[in-house]
Amino acid sequence: MATGRRPGTGAARRREEVGGGNDDPQRRPGTAVVTAPAAGPVASRSEGAAADPADLATRPHRPAADEADATAAAAAADAMDAVLLADLADDLDGTFERLVLAYQRRLYGFALRYAGTPEDAEEIGQDAFVRAYRALEGYDAARVRDLALRPWLYRITLNVARNRARRVRPRLVSLDGSGGPDGEPGVTVEPVADERERPESVVARAEVDVALAALLAALPPRYRAAVILRHVEGLGYEKAAAALGQPVGTVKSNVHRGLRLLRVALADQDNNREVVR
């Protein structure tokens, strides 16, 4: 245990409760704690995130009232995180379950939108919590209290998702066979044989807007993560930058380009509907 913490109920027991992925020989398989929610939205949009694809594509401009609500919600979340971090610093084993309960929906939702399938999202979320626990176990109390909890957890989750994607690279096919604006790669979709595993079907089961999820899943990864963190998860640019490990300017640029690709994709959808009519 790190200096400054009260003894908890035992790190070995906590590893059993948290562990699970088959890719780690030190963890027992079959004990995942992050699962698809049985009901309700995948992740809270309490910080002013968009729910409609057209709304998302026309951002970042929002009414002042929405910005004020988002700021207030973010401040309340920061205050709750500060209490949680203080308790984790004092008693990691006794408090870690609260961390899981507080963040498993958010991390699962982020992983689902980034990876595209519930199975991947569960394993990514599970591994993220395992890595978070192991990191916290090695931090002293002062470092735990000073963490920016949400960006830190999202960054761990994103790293797990990226590492997983490197192991299995999907074959991507352009929606229209052409590149995006200014020579950027076009929005793409992954062809899949099982209808249940199409991004639209996956997101519908999780009660997330089908069209939005399909468009997000099709964005190039560097834009996808930035747009999801900023406009779906509702993080401010500084926290999104901390989660991504990038300068704020880079995140703003990637969000801007990602939203531009979404606008192009939405326009193409509208044109296709007109042709069908």
Handedness of CA 129, 135, 139, 143 (dihedral sign): negative
Alpha helices (runs of H) in 23-148, residue ranges in sequence order: 53-57, 64-90, 92-115, 118-138, 141-145
Burial class (CB in 10 A: 0-12, 13-18, 19+), 22: exposed
CA pair distance 217, 204, nearest whole angstrom:
13
CA pair distance 235, 233, nearest whole angstrom:
6
Tell the residue number behind the tokens 């779906």, with chain if given: 232
CA pair distance 124, 209, nearest whole angstrom:
21
CA pair distance 105, 41, nearest whole angstrom:
9
Nearest to 196 by CA among 130, 99, 116: 116
Domain ranges of the chain: 11-22+46-276
CA pair distance 125, 160, nearest whole angstrom:
8
Whether the Cβ atoms of residue 243 and residue 208 lie closer than 8 Å to each other: no
Whether the Cβ atoms of residue 200 and residue 213 lie closer than 8 Å to each other: yes
Nearest to 227 by CA among 189, 259, 180: 259
Q: Which residues, other chains included, contact 168 with Cβ-Cβ below 8 Å and sequence gap of 6+?
A: none
Nearest to 31 by CA among 129, 143, 149, 171: 129
Nearest to 253 by CA among 230, 277, 276, 274: 230
Tokens representing residue 135 in the block: 């990191």
CA pair distance 47, 66, nearest whole angstrom:
9
Rg of the chain over all Cα atoms, to the nearest angstrom: 19
Does the pTM of the predicted model rise above 0.85? no
What average pLDDT values come out for the chain (277 residues) when binned by 10 residues? 49 43 36 44 42 53 59 84 97 96 93 84 94 97 96 95 75 41 43 41 43 76 90 89 94 93 79 57
CATH number of the domain at 11-22+46-276, out of 1.20.58.220, 1.10.1740.10, 3.40.50.1820, 3.40.50.720?
Answer: 1.10.1740.10
Whether the Cβ atoms of residue 54 and residue 61 lie closer than 8 Å to each other: no
Which one-letter amino acid corresponds to residue 276?
A: V
